[in-house]
Amino acid sequence: MSSSMIKLFVMRHGEAEVFAASDGERELTERGIVQAQRAGAWLAERAPGIPLLYQSPFRRARQTAAEVARCFPGIECRELDALTPSGRPEVVVQALERAGVDSLLCVSHQPLVGELRNWLVDGSEGAGYPFATASIALLECEYLAPGGASMRWIVDSAGYA
């Protein structure tokens, strides 16, 4: 990545059904679909040039990413196995560093999104920062490293209305 500031948008998937055959198969509820659509439109107004979206392989995150991506013509979507709920922030960051872009969006799950935020902003591991469904945080940094980022804002679905 270049020496300019990196903008990392971290998003939790929209509201999902409680039960399914497996955690990875849980789908968005109708409310979750609307949350994802509103989040995508809101984010596209504020950061229209995001070139790359990484998504978890779990169904609810893929559905959220698809709704958000509709608001970003030309955005490239990639699935990243490390973005599951039990993923590790340092593994995610290694993959993001290889992306070669200065602005990207990750759609994932709790507790990973909160742990990723804590690892990048506070340099700490463990209990993650709280993310409601469909919340998006903007983290900015020169390099993706523990404690090297600043959280510029976080907004949840109430902020998209």
Tens of pLDDT, residue by residue over 7-61, are 999 999 999 999 999 999 999 999 999 999 999 999 999 999 999 999 999 999 9
Q: What is the pLDDT of residue 158?
A: 86
Binned at pLDDT 50, 70 and 90, residue 161 comes out as low
Of the candidates 141, 83, 143, the residue with the CA atom closest to the CA atom of residue 116:
83
CATH of domain 6-156: 3.40.50.1240
What letter does residue 34 receive in the DSSP assignment? H
**Distance between CA 38 and CA 159 in Å, rounded?**
9
pTM for the whole structure: 0.95
Q: Which two tokens stand for residue 60?
A: 């609810």
